[in-house]
Amino acid sequence: MPILHAMQETFGYVPQDAIPLIADAMNLSRAEVHGVFTFYHDFRHEPAGRHIVKVCVAEACQAAGARDTSPKFEKALDCAFGETRPDGQVTLEPIYCLGLCACGPSAMVDGRLVGLIDDEAIAEIAAEVRS
């Protein structure tokens, strides 16, 4: 896994063409490397946007209103979950638990945790990632 992390840190994602090279270098099968690569959601298959917004969709946040905030994020950011805007400005991703269950719904914006997400917070986040 360290080589996958290093590639992602260097390039912002792990190019698909790198999988066979990693497998050969590590004396592993391509299937083994591909299995690790696809199992962990933090490994990217393509470059992310300049800003990354992750919205918690786990049960505690769902119970606290994430079902309502998720579509609002998509509208405010003009981006669907699992997508990067065409201008490359933002990537919107679902995440399954940020550990802020008591402060749900929650999100992570460029690595910064944000709890108690409401309409005002969504508007602030949208303005932040557009600047």
**Does 35 lie in the same domain as 66?**
no
- 101 and 60 part of one domain: yes
Same domain as 55, residue 35? no
pLDDT in the model for residue 14: 93
**Does the residue 109 lie in any domain?**
yes
Check whether 79 is labelled as a binding-site residue.
Answer: no
CB atoms within 10 A of CB 120: 8
Whole-number Å distance between alpha carbons of 78 and 31: 36
Pair (97, 119) in one structural domain: yes
Average of per-residue pLDDT across 64-72: 92
Domains contained in the chain, number: 2
Whether 87 and 23 map to the same domain: the answer is: no
Contact 129, 89 (CB under 8 A): yes
**pLDDT of res. 40:** 84
Q: Residue 101, annotated ligand binder?
A: yes
Q: Which domain holds residue 86?
A: 51-130
Does 72 lie in the same domain as 35?
A: no
In a domain, 80, yes or no: yes
- Asked if residues 88 and 48 have their Cβ atoms less than 8 Å apart, the reply is no
State the Cα–Cα distance between residues 98 and 20, nearest whole angstrom.
33
Q: Answer yes or no: is 63 within a domain.
A: yes
Share of the chain above pLDDT 90, in %: 81
Residue 129 in this model has a pLDDT that exceeds 90: yes
20 in the same domain as 71 = no
Together in a domain, 77 and 27:
no
Assess whether pLDDT exceeds 80 at residue 12.
yes
Tell me whether residue 44 is in a domain: no
Average pLDDT, rounded, for the chain: 93
Verify that 78 and 114 share a domain, yes or no.
Answer: yes
Instruction: Give me the CATH number covering residue 110.
Output: 3.40.30.10
pLDDT at 42 over 90: no
Q: Is 103 annotated as a binding residue?
A: no
The answer as to whether 45 is a domain residue is no
How far, in Å, are 16, 47, 55 from residue 22 at the CA level? Answer: 10, 19, 31
Cis peptide leading into 105, omega within 30 of 0? yes
The verdict on 34 and 55 lying in the same domain is no
Q: Torsion angle of alpha carbons 62, 68, 71, 77, nearest 10°?
A: -100
